[in-house]
């Protein structure tokens, strides 16, 4: 009896994910193939880590060239990719200094450490008392400190005791934010668009008000652009939609080109300058392979083409989604090539919708009950995007034709 990779994963892998029952074996551009030869349109792009699609030729070439030379030194020695990577990413972000790390949540933790240290050493907050204001509905990863200020019960439950020093306010509520500042506030951590929450857009002018309040209270504005940055919303950074420049950018996902983990904290020298040798580090952070790929990602973004494609395809995305409202969908939110879709809970869950989509050759991911996200590679062809949206409409229609769910089945009980 042959045992499949999925069965092996089920027996020997920890069950911290609940993937769709599709075993992907090949990817090209915006398309995936499974072990049986079925093709699927990728409507997730690994939560924006694959902004440039699967196996982008320029990114694969950069990785192969570096694989033939050098992959890892640790930061104990210099290598020839790190300095250029830092200089090029600094220029793209309009900042002075880059601190490369690996995962997105590692970069968030780094930014929090920097903010606290800056608060103590520069702002003069008494040691051990610095606080950070965060937003309700946030998602910044899954480390102990990050889940300590999460309001997602599944991500947080039974991991206490939790890290103190965080104050949460409702996302988009400028008055609540203003009231939350005090003398201990070192920073405000904000997603310019809340991705995991369902692509939640801030009210117009909110990011500008966050920036104003941070200046007024001598606190750092830390923008988590791990999902929203690097072209996803039609701009290099989502903050660009309000012409806001935060003190700190936190980047990840797409920075590694869908090939290697690569994240970064980007700020000016007066912020990142608080770090000294030995006060923070990472063995793989800024390794030659990752930074070689990251440099090619930056080159792609410097052309502006990915950003322009995301902005141009926003109209196609809207045209496919907005007519579904009132026909089984109760809400949609779109920015660039990124959308949140809220299915009527009476029809089913976001998981039900994603399973119906998968049967039609489209892979997407649910989030928070009856919601799902759409974030295809920025390289997707317009006709493929339109086809995928047609499959979504058919999937919603299929769920609407099912017998009504009970309140328990729909999650309304």
- Give the mean pLDDT of the chain: 96
**Is 102 exposed, middle or buried, given 0-12, 13-18 or 19+ CB atoms closer than 10 A?**
buried
Please check the confidence at residue 60 and state whether its pLDDT lies above 70.
yes
Q: Which tens digits make up the pLDDT trace of 11-36?
A: 999 999 999 999 999 999 999 999 99
Q: Dihedral of CA 239/243/246/252: which sign?
A: positive
**Is 179 exposed, middle or buried, given 0-12, 13-18 or 19+ CB atoms closer than 10 A?**
exposed
Of all residues in the chain, the percent with pLDDT exceeding 90 is 96
DSSP 8-state secondary structure symbol assigned to residue 21? S
The one catalytic residue among 95, 123, 253, 365: 253
Q: Which tens digits make up the pLDDT trace of 85-143?
A: 999 999 999 999 999 999 999 999 999 999 999 999 999 999 999 999 999 999 999 99
Q: What residue has token string 């009950």?
A: 369
**Is 163 exposed, middle or buried, given 0-12, 13-18 or 19+ CB atoms closer than 10 A?**
middle
CATH architecture, domain 5-55+305-410: Alpha-Beta Complex (3.90)
CB 256 within 8 A of CB 49: yes
Q: Is 224 a catalytic residue?
A: yes
Q: CA-CA distance, 59 to 49, in Å (whole number)?
A: 13
Q: CA-CA distance, 207 to 352, in Å (whole number)?
A: 34
Q: Which tens digits make up the pLDDT trace of 355-388?
A: 999 999 999 999 988 999 999 999 999 999 999 9
The one catalytic residue among 139, 166, 181, 237: 139
Average pLDDT of span 240-268: 98
The one catalytic residue among 42, 224, 366, 384: 224
CB atoms within 10 A of CB 45: 27
Banded pLDDT at 2 (limits 50, 70, 90): confident
Average pLDDT of span 69-89: 97
CATH, domain range 57-302:
3.40.640.10
pLDDT of residue 349: 96
What is the number of residues in the chain? Answer: 413
Residues of the chain with CATH 3.40.640.10: 57-302
Please check the confidence at residue 409 and state whether its pLDDT lies above 70.
no
pLDDT of residue 368: 87
**pTM of the entire structure?**
0.96
Q: Is 182 a catalytic residue?
A: no
Q: Which tens digits make up the pLDDT trace of 182-204?
A: 999 999 999 999 999 999 999 99
pLDDT of residue 405: 56
Residues of the chain with CATH 3.90.1150.10: 5-55+305-410
Please check the confidence at residue 57 and state whether its pLDDT lies above 50.
yes
CB 263 within 8 A of CB 252: yes
Closest CA to 221 of 121, 99, 114: 114
């Amino acid at each position: 009896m042959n045992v499949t990779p999925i069965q092996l994963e089920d027996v020997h892998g920890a069950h911290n994910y609940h993937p769709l029952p599709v075993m992907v074996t090949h990817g090209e551009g915006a398309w995936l193939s499974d072990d049986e030869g079925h093709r699927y349109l990728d409507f997730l792009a690994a939560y924006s880590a694959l902004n440039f699609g699967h196996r982008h030729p320029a990114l694969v070439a950069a990785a192969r060239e570096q694989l033939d030379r050098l992959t890892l030194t640790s930061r104990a020695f210099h290598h020839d990719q790190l300095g250029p990577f830092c200089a090029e990413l600094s220029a793209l972000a309009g900042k002075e200094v880059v601190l490369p790390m690996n995962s997105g949540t590692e970069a968030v933790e780094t930014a929090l450490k920097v903010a606290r240290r800056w608060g103590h050493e520069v702002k003069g907050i008494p040691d051990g008392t610095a606080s950070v204001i965060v937003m309700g509905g946030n998602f910044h990863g899954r480390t102990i400190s990050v889940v300590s200020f999460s309001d997602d019960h599944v991500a947080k439950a039974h991991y206490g005791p939790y890290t103190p020093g965080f104050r949460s306010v409702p996302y988009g509520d400028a008055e609540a934010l203003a009231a939350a500042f005090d003398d201990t506030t070192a920073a405000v951590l904000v997603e310019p668009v809340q991705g995991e929450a369902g692509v939640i857009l801030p009210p117009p002018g909110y990011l500008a008000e966050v920036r104003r309040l941070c200046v007024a209270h001598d606190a750092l504005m830390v923008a988590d652009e791990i999902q929203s940055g690097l072209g996803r919303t039609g701009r290099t950074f989502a903050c660009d939609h309000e012409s806001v420049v935060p003190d700190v950018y936190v980047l990840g996902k797409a920075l590694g080109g869908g090939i290697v983990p690569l994240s970064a904290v980007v700020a000016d020298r007066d912020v990142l300058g608080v770090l000294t040798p030995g006060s923070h580090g990472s063995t793989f952070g800024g390794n030659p392979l990752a930074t070689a790929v990251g440099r090619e990602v930056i080159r792609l973004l410097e052309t502006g083409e990915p950003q322009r494609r995301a902005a141009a395809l926003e109209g196609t995305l809207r045209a496919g989604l907005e007519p579904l409202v009132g026909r089984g969908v109760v809400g949609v939110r779109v920015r660039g090539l990124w959308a949140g879709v809220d299915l009527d809970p009476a029809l089913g869950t976001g998981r039900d919708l994603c399973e119906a989509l998968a049967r039609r050759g489209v892979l997407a991911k649910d989030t928070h009950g009856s919601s799902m996200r759409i974030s295809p590679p920025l390289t997707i062809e317009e006709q493929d995007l339109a086809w995928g949206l047609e499959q979504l409409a058919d999937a919603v229609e299929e769920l609407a034709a099912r017998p009504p769910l009970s309140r328990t089945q729909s999650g309304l009980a």
